[in-house]
Structure 1
Amino acid sequence: MIAPGAHGLRRGGPGEDFWQYRPAAQGDSARSIDWRRSARSDAQFVRDREAQTAQAVGLWISAGQGMGYSGSPDRPTKADRAHLLALALAMVLLRGGEKVGLLGQPARAGRVQADRLAERIVALRPQAGDDDAPVADHLRPNQRLVILSDFLDDPAWVDGLLARAAGMGVGGVLMQVLDPDEEVFPYNGAVLFRSLSGAIRHDSRDAGGLREAYLARLAERRDWLRRRAEGAGWHFGHHTTDHAPAVALSWLYQVLAG
């Protein structure tokens, strides 16, 4: 599980975890001396703790038109589910003392930030086109980044983002969010396919005949994303909107500890 709140900096300083023993020096109070350790030698020793800092986590949610898709009125759109996951993850991390923010905005801790993030996530709106990508210039050194997208548009930006992240010590997660119809391609007969923006259209007379090729392309895309993520020291996961969001939330929470 993720260790919420404080994270070790591998040096002495304020914190809760033991770092090392060092010989007592001028200025150390009697209270700071570890008398049990000192009793085993002729010198007095101080028990240093490891300096710790809150982890900064950035969240990015695709605003491409395709994220507004749902194959059934009984299911949320991909965007709605991604917003829910981002908000729930932010609340859990903030409760643990983490600093959290949307990518490109300051990451802060505390109750006020929880309210601010809730307002900003609820206010997110789709953009005009199908494609969307995070701005690599918004990355900050040593942060963790959670990317929520369907990754069905041109994925060329993924390589550039991960290369930039690797150079800055940024780790993170790619989470693909899909509708179950996009997972199984249940269509048959004559079907007009079009993107939600209307920019892409395909009129098929035999949609069922496309199923095998579609599923192969989806598996290929998913494998490509997984290999890119693992090659950069990131994690890749996927979630469908007919599954319980708690499962995806638990997975995101755990892999951020990696």
Structure 2
Amino acid sequence: MADAQHLSATVLLGVHGRKRAGTGDEFWQYRPAQAGDAYRQIDWRRSARSDGHFIRQTEWQAAQAVLIGVDDAASMTFTGHKGRPSKLRRAQTLAMALAIIAVRGGERVGLTHLPEPPRGGTAQLMRMAQALMDGHEAGDYGAPRPQVMPMGSRAVFLSDFLGDPAAIEAVLGRAADRDVRGALVQILDPDEEAFPFDGRTVFESMTGAIRFETLKAKSLREAYLERLAERKARLQEMCRRTGWRYHLHHTDQPAEPALLWLYRALEKVRA
């Protein structure tokens, strides 16, 4: 929570208005009165300063639900260097920082693996933090399995997305059917991008269920990088088809740019 609070402070906070006329408290703009406008809508103080009549419009500020899914399968606990956070810890920090920003903006937040609907308030943030630390996924690779998906809400899934891509496609298809849009954030360790292995190497999954030994690890590099590029392209194509957005983040990079990207991406999704 301390890391998330510090991270969320780097994003300029403000009311999450929709920049659209409607019911709300925040002033948006004045517009000239038109035929059909009620007299009670006219702002007489503003109109007195000109020859015409003007309507004071407020900004539409409907609180929305933001669902956040954090993959905590074994593969997410990997880090290639003790000086770097694991993929899971970075995902948890980004998730909580985003939740803090959403709650401060008057929105409701929730975790996709919990049956409870999204809620607002500080107490909800504490419940989410506890649930993230409790863990829920088993096996080497995970996939989002949202239990609650309110119509028209937004969602964020944070994962390395190295498991079965068909599971991701199914979730995004279900989301599209419910008019839910959002973002996929693929989190990878730099070693997973560079494949810096040579000579005799033993590759083992984080649970130990998968094990492979080779005497010429370097010879696998080209095929590995090709498969990884194909996976990224497939994720991007999924997002393109469903109106979602895709972002790649590396754990050796600061978390601030990823959070700022998420903040802006959700604002665009909502517009």
TM range (shorter): 0.7 to 0.9
- The code of the aligned residue for 2:160 comes to D
User: Does 2:259 align with 1:223?
Assistant: no
Whole-angstrom distance in 2 between the partners of 1:24 and 1:74:
64
C-alpha distance in structure 2 between counterparts of 1:19 and 1:209, whole Å: 66
Structure 2 partner of 1:192: 202
* Amino acid across the alignment from 2:128: L
CA distance in 2 between counterparts of 1:19 and 1:145 reads 34
**Is 2:108 the partner of 1:117?**
no
- Which residue, out of 77, 90, 105, partners 1:68? 77
CA distance in 1, matches of 2:62, 2:84: 40
> How many residues in Structure 1 have an aligned counterpart in Structure 2?
250
Unaligned segments of structure 2, at least 5 residues: 1-10
Residue type at the aligned position of 2:174: R
Return the offset for 1:120.
2.4
Give, in angstroms, the shift of residue 98 of structure 1: 2.3
The alpha-carbon deviation at position 168 of structure 1 amounts to 1.2
Separation in structure 2 between the aligned mates of residue 230 and residue 7 of structure 1, nearest angstrom: 26
CA distance in structure 2 between the aligned counterparts of 1:14 and 1:254, rounded to whole angstroms = 22
Distance (Å, rounded) in 2 between the aligned partners of 1:120 and 1:94: 17
The question of 1:233 aligning with 2:247 is answered no
After superposition, the Cα gap between the structure-2 partners of 1:92 and 1:136, relative to the gap in structure 1 and judged at 3 Å, is closer
Which amino acid is 2:108 matched to? K
CA contact (8 A) 1:150 1:177 kept: yes
- By how many angstroms is 1:99 displaced? 1.7
After TM superposition, give the deviation of residue 50 of structure 1 in Å. Answer: 4.6
Q: 2:215 aligns with which of 190, 205, 216?
A: 205
Task: Note if 1:33 corresponds to 2:42.
Answer: yes
In the TM superposition, 1:97-246 aligns within 5 A as: 97-103=106-112, 104=114, 105-123=116-134, 125=135, 127-246=137-256
* CA offsets 1:94-129 (integer angstroms, 9 cap, x no match): 222222111243222222223332222233x26331
Deviation at 1:220, TM superposition (A): 0.9
| Code of the aligned partner of 2:263 | Y
> In proportion to residue count, which structure has more strand?
1
**8 A Cα contact 1:56 1:107, kept in partner:** yes
Contact 1:75 1:241 in 2 (8 A): yes
Code of the residue aligned with 1:117 in structure 2: it is M
**2: CA distance between counterparts of 1:59 and 1:8?**
21
Distance 1:19 1:129 in 2: 57
Contact 2:13 2:101 in 1 (8 A): no
Is 1:79 equivalent to 2:91 in the alignment? no
Structure 1 residue 89, shift from structure 2 partner: 1.5
CA distance in 2, matches of 1:4, 1:114: 19
Residues 246 and 51 (structure 1), Cα distance of their counterparts in 2 relative to 1, 3 Å cut = closer
Q: Deviations over 1:16-62 (max 9, x none)?
A: 2359755326xx4xxx5322559756xx7754535421232111001
Root-mean-square deviation (CA, aligned residues, Å) is 2.6
Q: For 1:19 and 1:50, locate their aligned partners in 2 and report how far apart those are by CA, in whole Å.
A: 11
Kindly state the Cα deviation for residue 135 of structure 1 after the two structures are TM-superposed.
Answer: 2.0
Q: 1:96 aligns with which of 92, 95, 105?
A: 105
Distance 1:5 1:53 in 2: 11
Deviation at 1:161, TM superposition (A): 1.3
CA drift of 1:192 comes to 1.3
- Structure 2 length normalisation: TM-score? 0.82
Q: Any conservation in 1 of the 2:152–2:178 contact (CA below 8 Å)?
A: yes
- CA deviation profile, 1:74-100 (whole Å, cap 9, x unmatched): 211111111111111212222222221
Instruction: Describe the SS at the equivalent of 1:23.
Output: coil
Question: Please, which of 49, 56, 73 is the counterpart of residue 65 of structure 2?
Answer: 56
Identity of aligned residues (%): 41
